[in-house]
Structure 1
Amino acid sequence: MRIAVIGATGNVGTAVLRHLSTRPEVDSVLGIARRLPDTDAAPYAEAQWQRADIQYPEVVPDLAKALSGCDAVIHLAWLIQPNTQRSVLRRVNVNGTRHVLDAAAQAGVRHAVVASSVGVYSPAEDDVAHDEQWPTEGIPGSHYSEDKVAQERVMDEFLAEHPDFTLARLRPGLVFQRAAGSEIQRYFAGQMAPVQLLQLLRPPVVPVPGGIRTQAVHADDLAAAYAQAAILGAEGAFNICADDLLDGDAITKVVSGDKTSGLKLPLPGAALRPLIKAAHRARILPTDEGWLDMGLHVPVMDSSRAKKELQWAPAYSGAQALEELVEGMAAGVGAASVPLRPRNLDESERPELPGAEHEIGEEVDALLLRQYMADHLAGATAGTNRIKRMAADYVDTPVFPEISEVAEAIRRERGFLVKLIQRQGFPTSPASTTIAWMGERVGRLKPNGRLPGGRSPSTLVVEAEMMITAVTGKLHGWKVMRDHADALGVDPQVFEGLILDAENQREQLESVHEYARHRAFRKDRRTFEKTR
């Protein structure tokens, strides 16, 4: 059996790949994502890969070609952020689902499993477990819920047009695993949240929204449900959750690390909501107030149907899944994909270096080489900041996947360079990197023919050119270090790999430049939308 997994690099997608590799019924897996992972790392190495951006209707023919020969499609792709780009979220999450289903039908696939959510359900104010017949009008005030409802309507319309197609929709609670710690921190708490302190001390008092009650499922348990639904050809809606309820007391016990005496500090939802709203509008908190509304009003789910028809049972409780998440957030762990990238640069270092410190031999001028590497680190710092900002600025464009992949590669390589410098016994001077950081930000002040706060079409052209230049310089830096690999105590093949990576990055940036330059100076074409 050949199964395609769309959105195969995120929290759930990674777990699904991991699980499918253990199923004897599955002969091969096709992973599909906007931004490809490290395909040499587990579990991504077990799949074949195809890049696709599902938000645009133009993807359908190529996606259908990729899906040809598949027996089932598991569709997981869903954007959580950026909240401020509602049109992007709608295009990917709602329109993208229609594009995936259309492509599957064109490819001759007759079965799909789609990721829905508890958020699709209408509010319930009781602790009675509700089955899949509960109304699906969503939670007022939550854009996530609103889009999940719209997605289910798209599925309904598609099935009405394709009566020979079978479709299962899984409605899980919150999905946790250790490897998602950094991702969930970025999406909901923010990068500046000091969650790493949880490694040293768990809070004795835990503030929680009063009246909160929700359910969770471990990503591995949810992955097993997706696999079962795909293999069995299941049809209809299935609630997927652990058997326990995460109320204020349960959350307090997990977060405090004390199963008996952790103190809960209830915060009234009516008072907390405007605070979350203000923090989100001020860009202090990535989470908007709609997530609080969901936590307070979604129904308790009954997962009996999944247990009976899918022969599914959770191996983890919701509390155990939450504990894994807390540990993962504290440690800043992740996986070898862009969505699941670890919090710290050093955590994502590829390739790895030998652990022992290495001194440069007398045949090489260590002082000159030290300064050379420090200069490249300054450039890498500026480049990392610039490409990270570009990815944020152009998240709504068709070239975002290429920019984002380059951003992650440059981020990893900077971490490698820091480790390499430190391994030679060199300090990493903050002065040059700070100057480079400031220079990169001053460069952003150019108006490029637009008022401040606007977005000039020519800016993407200029920024792509600057990054191409920076990557070219980096490529030659790796060549210099390759020539002195023995002195640095590194296998020359390590630098050969980095040179090849830089060439690939330059090709991706060239494609960004080609896209932008053909549109930026034309009045009849739009740079930031996929037109002509």
Structure 2
Amino acid sequence: MRIVVVGATGNTGTAVLKELIDRPEVDSILGVSRRLPDQEAEPYRHAEWTTVDIQFEESRSTLAETFEGADAVIHLAWLIQPNTKRELLRRVNVDGTRYVLEAASEAGVERIAVASSVGAYSPVSDNELRDESWPTGGIEGSHYSVDKAAQERVMDDFEAEHPEIALARLRPGLVFQSDAGSEIQRYFAGKFAPVQLLQHVRPPFVPLPNNVRAQAVHAKDLARAYTEAVLRGAQGPFNICADDILDAAAISRAVGRRRNLPLPSAPLRPLLKAAHRIGVVPTDEGWFDMGVGVPLMDNSKAKRELDWEPTISGFQALKELIEGMSTGVGEGSPPMRPRKATASDQAELPAEGHRPSDEIDTDLLRQYMADHLTGATAGLKRIEAMAEAFVETPVYPELSQVATGIRAEHAYLEELIKRQGFSRPTIAAPLAWATEKASRLKPYSRPPGERSPSAMVLETELMLSAVIAKLHGWKMMRDHAHELGVSEQVFEDLIDTAYDQLNTLEHVHEYARARAFAKGENPFEPRET
């Protein structure tokens, strides 16, 4: 079988790839994502890859071509953040599902599995197990739940129009695995959460709502359910979760404490709302509403019809996730990237304790490399901010790809300086960071909070300049590769990457400048290039 996985780089998608690789029935895998992974890394190297942004109606024809010759499609793509961009979330999650299903039908695909969720269900106030017949009306106030319910309506319509296609909708509980630790921290806890401290110390108690109860599933078990669904041509909804219930006591034990501090739910919602509004956490109050309102699921249908059994308990999956969050591990894709890029992601390094040759002025070399690291820090912050600001545009995947590369290069340069015995810049780097932040406050003749159409042009031009400076820095270091203790080829590869980044940014600039000053055009509006 040839199977296409849409959204193949996230938590579930990565696990699905690993499962499909081990199945003898699967001959080939095509991964589809907005942002491509490291195609040399496991498990991504075992698949073919293409990039499609499913939020655009025009993407249906591209998807149909992509699905040609496929025996099955597994649709996992779902955008969780940013919470504030509701139209974007709706386009990707609900409209995107419609486009994927229509394209699969057009391509003649006969088996489809789609990622729904426990969040699609209507709320309950008890602990009774519900099967798949429970209504999928969603939970008002939770954008995730509302969109999952809307996605269910899209699948209802599709099933009515295409009864000949086997459409399975899987409704998992919370999906945990160790390698998703950094991804889940970014989406829900935020960058300010000191989760790395869990490696050394555990809190004396865990404050939790007194009515918390949830079900989880390990990503590996969930991946097996998706695989069985398409291999068997299963049809209809399936609850996927481990057999145990995660209540306050179980969650506390998973964190490493036997005591939990039960808290009333009523005051927690406004506290979470306030924390989200001021930017402390990315999770809004809708997630709280869903967390205390979703039903507990009966998974017997999946056991019966898919011959599926959970092999890892929800408690074990949660413990594994907490360990992954504390250590900051991840995988080689943009959503699953580790908390901190490592130098090994980029190229070889000199041996520990290496010192430059006495034939060069090490003081000058140290200052030169420190200056480049300062500039690289500012450039990294700028490209990450650009990708975030332009997430609704068709050029977002390209900007995100450049950001991923620059993040790894920054880590490499940082470690290279360390291996030379040089100290990192102290005052200069924070000053460059502050200057970069200040440069983004330019009003562009627009009211506060309203983005000027020319902003993308100017930001891209600044980034082009930064990459050109970096390119010449790599050339200078290539000329002194021997003294630095690495091969010239390391820097030749970095130079080639810089040229690729320049080409990408030139394309972004072409897109932006064609719309920046024309009346009625706006580069931030969602539309095809």
TM-score, structure 1 as length reference: 0.97
Which amino acid letter does the alignment assign opposite residue 169 of structure 1? R
Which amino acid letter does the alignment assign opposite residue 285 of structure 2? E
Which amino acid letter does the alignment assign opposite residue 187 of structure 1? Y
Query: Does residue 414 of structure 2 align to residue 430 of structure 1?
Result: no
Deviation at 1:139, TM superposition (A): 1.6
Which residue matches 2:395?
399
Write the distance in 2 (CA, Å) between the matches of 1:273 and 1:263.
Answer: 22
Deviation at 1:393, TM superposition (A): 1.1
Contact 1:15 1:223 in 2 (8 A): yes
Identity of counterpart residues, as a percentage? 61
Which residue matches 2:273?
277
Which amino acid letter does the alignment assign opposite residue 302 of structure 2? A
Which residue matches 1:328?
324
Which amino acid letter does the alignment assign opposite residue 412 of structure 1? A
Query: Does residue 116 of structure 2 align to residue 120 of structure 1?
Result: no
Which amino acid letter does the alignment assign opposite residue 298 of structure 1? V
User: Where do 1:162-241 residues align within 5 Å?
Assistant: 162-241=162-241
Write the distance in 2 (CA, Å) between the matches of 1:107 and 1:503.
Answer: 37
The C-alpha deviation readout for 1:199-251, integer Å capped at 9, x for no partner, is 11112211111111110000111011111111111110000000000011111
User: Where do 1:436-515 residues align within 5 Å?
Assistant: 436-515=432-511
Which residue matches 1:243?
243
Write the distance in 2 (CA, Å) between the matches of 1:351 and 1:133.
Answer: 53
Which residue matches 1:362?
358
Contact 1:6 1:31 in 2 (8 A): yes
Contact 2:216 2:241 in 1 (8 A): yes
Deviation at 1:182, TM superposition (A): 0.8
**Stretch of structure 1 that moved more, 172-181 or 432-441:** 432-441
Deviation at 1:435, TM superposition (A): 2.4
Deviation at 1:452, TM superposition (A): 2.4
Write the distance in 2 (CA, Å) between the matches of 1:276 and 1:403.
Answer: 31
Name which of 302, 309, 330 aligns with 1:306.
Answer: 302
Task: Rate the CA distance shift 1:355–1:43 in 2: closer, same or farther, 3 A.
Answer: farther
Write the distance in 1 (CA, Å) between the matches of 2:321 and 2:295.
Answer: 23
Task: Rate the CA distance shift 1:435–1:88 in 2: closer, same or farther, 3 A.
Answer: same
Task: Rate the CA distance shift 1:254–1:531 in 2: closer, same or farther, 3 A.
Answer: closer
Which residue matches 1:139?
139
Deviation at 1:44, TM superposition (A): 0.7
Q: Secondary structure at the match of 2:114?
A: strand
TM-score, structure 2 as length reference: 0.98
User: Where do 1:256-275 residues align within 5 Å?
Assistant: 257-258=256-257, 262-275=258-271
Which amino acid letter does the alignment assign opposite residue 154 of structure 1? V
Contact 2:56 2:527 in 1 (8 A): no
Deviation at 1:363, TM superposition (A): 2.2
Contact 1:333 1:347 in 2 (8 A): no
Deviation at 1:531, TM superposition (A): 4.1
Which amino acid letter does the alignment assign opposite residue 204 of structure 1? P
Contact 1:341 1:348 in 2 (8 A): no
Which amino acid letter does the alignment assign opposite residue 26 of structure 2? V
Deviation at 1:157, TM superposition (A): 1.2
Write the distance in 2 (CA, Å) between the matches of 1:439 and 1:295.
Answer: 41
Contact 2:356 2:483 in 1 (8 A): yes
Which amino acid letter does the alignment assign opposite residue 521 of structure 2? R
Name which of 504, 520, 527 aligns with 1:524.
Answer: 520
Q: Secondary structure at the match of 1:208?
A: strand
Contact 1:176 1:325 in 2 (8 A): yes
Write the distance in 1 (CA, Å) between the matches of 2:246 and 2:368.
Answer: 54
Which residue matches 2:18?
18
Which residue matches 1:341?
337
Write the distance in 2 (CA, Å) between the matches of 1:234 and 1:74.
Answer: 12
- In structure 1, list runs of 5 or more residues that go unmatched: none
Q: Secondary structure at the match of 2:468?
A: helix
Which amino acid letter does the alignment assign opposite residue 444 of structure 2? N
Task: Rate the CA distance shift 1:230–1:78 in 2: closer, same or farther, 3 A.
Answer: same
Contact 1:342 1:348 in 2 (8 A): no
Q: Secondary structure at the match of 1:238?
A: strand
Write the distance in 1 (CA, Å) between the matches of 2:393 and 2:304.
Answer: 44
Task: Rate the CA distance shift 1:26–1:280 in 2: closer, same or farther, 3 A.
Answer: same
Which amino acid letter does the alignment assign opposite residue 60 of structure 2? V
Which residue matches 1:52?
52
Deviation at 1:127, TM superposition (A): 2.0
Contact 2:456 2:512 in 1 (8 A): yes
Write the distance in 1 (CA, Å) between the matches of 2:520 and 2:204.
Answer: 61
Which residue matches 1:412?
408
RMSD: 1.3
Contact 2:217 2:314 in 1 (8 A): yes
Which amino acid letter does the alignment assign opposite residue 373 of structure 2? L
Contact 2:185 2:325 in 1 (8 A): yes
**Stretch of structure 1 that moved more, 142-151 or 521-530:** 521-530
Which amino acid letter does the alignment assign opposite residue 241 of structure 1? C
Write the distance in 2 (CA, Å) between the matches of 1:347 and 1:286.
Answer: 28
Write the distance in 2 (CA, Å) between the matches of 1:23 and 1:364.
Answer: 56
**Stretch of structure 1 that moved more, 48-57 or 288-297:** 288-297
User: Where do 1:149-164 residues align within 5 Å?
Assistant: 149-164=149-164
Deviation at 1:317, TM superposition (A): 0.2
- In structure 2, list runs of 5 or more residues that go unmatched: none
Which amino acid letter does the alignment assign opposite residue 36 of structure 2? L
Contact 1:3 1:72 in 2 (8 A): yes
Task: Rate the CA distance shift 1:220–1:531 in 2: closer, same or farther, 3 A.
Answer: closer
Write the distance in 1 (CA, Å) between the matches of 2:332 and 2:296.
Answer: 34
Q: Secondary structure at the match of 1:30?
A: strand
Which residue matches 1:75?
75
Write the distance in 2 (CA, Å) between the matches of 1:315 and 1:497.
Answer: 43
Which amino acid letter does the alignment assign opposite residue 507 of structure 1? N
Write the distance in 2 (CA, Å) between the matches of 1:9 and 1:352.
Answer: 26
The C-alpha deviation readout for 1:386-420, integer Å capped at 9, x for no partner, is 11111121112111111111112111110110000
The C-alpha deviation readout for 1:103-134, integer Å capped at 9, x for no partner, is 11122212210000001111122222211111
Write the distance in 1 (CA, Å) between the matches of 2:310 and 2:344.
Answer: 31
Task: Rate the CA distance shift 1:163–1:511 in 2: closer, same or farther, 3 A.
Answer: same
Write the distance in 1 (CA, Å) between the matches of 2:27 and 2:331.
Answer: 24
Which amino acid letter does the alignment assign opposite residue 449 of structure 2? G
The C-alpha deviation readout for 1:255-301, integer Å capped at 9, x for no partner, is 1x24xxx1111111111111111111122111111111222121111
Which residue matches 1:105?
105
Contact 2:240 2:302 in 1 (8 A): yes
Name which of 350, 371, 378 aligns with 2:374.
Answer: 378
Write the distance in 1 (CA, Å) between the matches of 2:481 and 2:293.
Answer: 60
Which amino acid letter does the alignment assign opposite residue 219 of structure 2? A
Write the distance in 1 (CA, Å) between the matches of 2:344 and 2:102.
Answer: 37
Q: Secondary structure at the match of 1:430?
A: coil
Write the distance in 2 (CA, Å) between the matches of 1:338 and 1:496.
Answer: 24
Contact 1:177 1:322 in 2 (8 A): yes
The C-alpha deviation readout for 1:338-390, integer Å capped at 9, x for no partner, is 11111123377422425522111122222222222111111101101111111
Following TM superposition, the consecutive aligned residue runs of length 4 or more in structure 1 with deviations greater than 4 angstroms are none
